[in-house]
């Protein structure tokens, strides 16, 4: 019986160590991208003006490419402000909680936009609608996170900052 308990204790210790190793490897991966931002500074969008405005006058493939790029740029903006919030937050539990919420939001966004694509009657139209959905959800989240950053971490009034990108 004692031997059995020792085996269980050993497995529990190994599990904890593996969990810690995984956590630190994820932290290292984030820091390798860019220790301060999470994405390369030269590639990072700076404001909403960096999100391409896609014209309906473009050819079908060009329009789809434009929308996909706009969705990717808007996602980069969200990632940038998430990194800013995490840089400001000093409480480890709140950082973890915020990451969980952000991951849940991303899963929800992806599921919703995939559903929009699937429900479309035509495959190509579904791709357009999915790209528009991703772009729009990212922009909504970006605005929401800007408000959070201002409310939670700003020492003064940052209402001017909230309208600077608009």
Measured distance between the N- and C-terminal CA atoms of the chain, rounded to whole angstroms: 68
pLDDT in tens, the chain (166 residues): 777 778 788 777 877 777 766 776 776 655 555 444 444 445 666 677 777 788 767 788 888 899 999 999 999 999 999 999 999 999 999 999 999 999 999 999 999 999 999 999 899 899 999 999 999 999 999 999 999 999 988 865 565 555 555 5
Residue listed under structure tokens 């020492």: 155
* Number of C-beta neighbours around residue 135 at 10 A: 23
Residue 125 to residues 67, 121, 128, 148, Cα–Cα distance (Å): 12, 8, 5, 34
What is the per-residue pLDDT for 41?
Answer: 47
Q: Give the span between the Cα atoms of 71 and 137, in whole angstroms.
A: 9
- 86: tokens are 């995490």
CB contact at 8 A, 38 and 80:
yes
Q: Give the span between the Cα atoms of 140 and 84, in whole angstroms.
A: 17
């Amino acid at each position: 019986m004692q031997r059995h308990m020792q085996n269980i204790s050993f497995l529990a210790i190994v599990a904890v160590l593996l969990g810690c190793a995984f956590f630190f490897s994820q932290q290292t991966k984030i820091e390798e991208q860019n220790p301060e931002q999470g994405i390369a500074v030269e590639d990072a969008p700076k404001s909403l003006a960096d999100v391409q405005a896609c014209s309906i006058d473009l050819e079908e493939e060009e329009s789809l490419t434009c929308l996909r790029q706009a969705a990717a740029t808007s996602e980069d903006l969200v990632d940038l402000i998430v990194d800013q919030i995490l840089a400001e937050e000093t409480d480890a539990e709140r950082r973890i909680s915020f990451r969980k919420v952000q991951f849940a939001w991303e899963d929800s966004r992806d599921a919703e936009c995939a559903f929009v694509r699937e429900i479309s009657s035509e495959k190509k139209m579904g791709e357009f609608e999915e790209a528009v959905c991703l772009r729009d959800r990212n922009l909504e989240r970006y605005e929401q996170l800007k408000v959070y950053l201002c409310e939670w971490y700003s020492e003064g009034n940052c209402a001017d900052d909230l309208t600077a990108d608009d």
